[in-house]
Amino acid sequence: MEFKADTTGKAPTETRCMTKLACIVLAAGMGTRMKSGIPKVLHQAGGLSLLGHVLGAAGEVGVNHVVMVTGPGMEAVRSEAHAHFPQARIVEQTERLGTAHAVSMAQPVLQDFTGITVVLYGDVPLIRPETIRSVCAAAAGEAVRMAVLGFEARDPFGYGRLVTGDSGMLEAIREELDASPAERALRLCNSGVIAIENELLWQLIPEIGNDNAKGEYYLTDLVGLCRQSGHGATVTTCDEDEVLGVNDRRQLAEVERLCQVRYRQQALLAGVTMVAPETVFLSADTRIAEDVVIEPHVILGPGVSIGRGSIVRGFSHIENTEIGEGVSVGPFARCRPGARIGDKSRIGNFVEVKNATVEEGAKVNHLAYIGDARIGAAANVGAGTIICNYDGFNKNFTDIGNGAFIGSNSALVAPLKIGEGAYVGSGSVVTRDVKADALAVARGKQVERENWASRYRKANMARSTKKSGEK
């Protein structure tokens, strides 16, 4: 069994909504409160962009069409959307006139679609696939053509309230300023996510006006128009944290925290031991097999997989790395992109591995740099060894054969090949290939001068005494 961190916090499911689905993702905001030149939806949480989280959830639901609404000049957002959903269609909102106006940009793409359209937000990354399925299924129910996703707010101030009738059907969405005292007392609030029959959506969108304080076209007006047209609208609910939006760095930090809580819980339930879970940071695509142990203060960046029975010791930082079964990494190890650590191998304290393969049973136990290299099976790399892989212009490769032994404090100057079973003497600077089973020693010849140390000490003591007398 393998654990894969994701934004759902639950085991993957093959359940699909039977109705055809289209998804409109609103992502035109620049996020001025983020104080950043990066579009808001491209900021990351849990090793993935906010937009990536949303599109990942939509992909798990099995939507038939995705339409992204972006702003002018947001090519980076377009590229990110296609990285996660290659078939996504991109439309541009040149003027920001409200959520209904943004949704209307998708009409040319979805005009002829038959099914349910769900509106999501590129800066609301924690929404779960099963929640999207639920609101879409509700919109396709009997006597219902629209559903709104709501939540019970801990503090409802500032949110639009969902007003329901005696039958439990949704009657209206009332904004804070327009709500009566009784409506303000409601805690059932609007998340902004809606699902609606596509045909009805394009019938009602043109009827939305902008007679409000901001002069904007609000998507929330769809509820009233839907009810006036004689169609049913309903509410589905989720946890408040699931629809937390990101508008500033504080909210981004909170989303990161909630992502990590989900990932850790899923890992623990899948058979991963974490000595201090609150100090371990995972990524959206982290893969960890059963019986892995992760010690405190470990960071697993994107692209990490760890095989069964391995241990990652404290204060290690790992990214874009494949770790096999029965491996020990750390403490204080760093595995950079392209590292491949074979079964039963050892990467010890203060060892850095980059774009290198450490094969089965090999040991790099302490204080070493392994870059652009292959360490053969059962080879041993001694403490203080570095691979000199960069000459200022090119990265060069070093191949260390199976069973080779590299003595401590050696420098291996790439490009280089150390044969199988070869030995490199400690302190060597190796610049030429070493044949299999040979011994290479590349260091200055040791010279010993008898009694030199005692004569040196006596001379210095005499000079020191003379200086003291002169004073």
Tell me the three state secondary structure of residue 130: helix
Tell me the CATH number for domain 2-243.
3.90.550.10
pLDDT digit string, tens, across residues 276-294? 999 999 999 999 999 999 9
Q: Give 117's strand partners.
A: 22, 196
Tell me the three state secondary structure of residue 189: strand
pLDDT digit string, tens, across residues 46-81? 999 999 999 999 999 999 999 999 999 899 999 999
The CATH classification of domain 249-440, taken from the options 3.40.50.1100, 2.160.10.10, 3.10.129.10, 1.10.3720.10: 2.160.10.10
For the cut 60, the answer to whether the pLDDT of residue 13 exceeds it is no
For the cut 90, the answer to whether the pLDDT of residue 179 exceeds it is no
Rounded to the nearest 10°, the torsion over CA 7, 12, 17, 20 is: 70
The Cα–Cα gap between 346 and 375 comes to 11
pLDDT at 471: 64
- Contact yes or no for 8/60 (Cβ under 8 A): yes
Catalytic residues: 366
- The confidence band for 241, taking pLDDT boundaries of 50, 70 and 90, is very high
What residue ranges do the domains of the chain occupy? 2-243, 249-440
Q: Which of 36-40, 167-171, 210-214, 280-284 has the lowest mean pLDDT?
A: 210-214
pTM: predicted TM-score of the whole model, two decimal places: 0.88
Tell me the three state secondary structure of residue 329: strand
The dihedrals phi and psi of 205, each to the nearest 5 degrees, come to -50, -45
pLDDT at 211: 82
Residue 463's CB is within 10 A of a number of other CB atoms, namely: 10
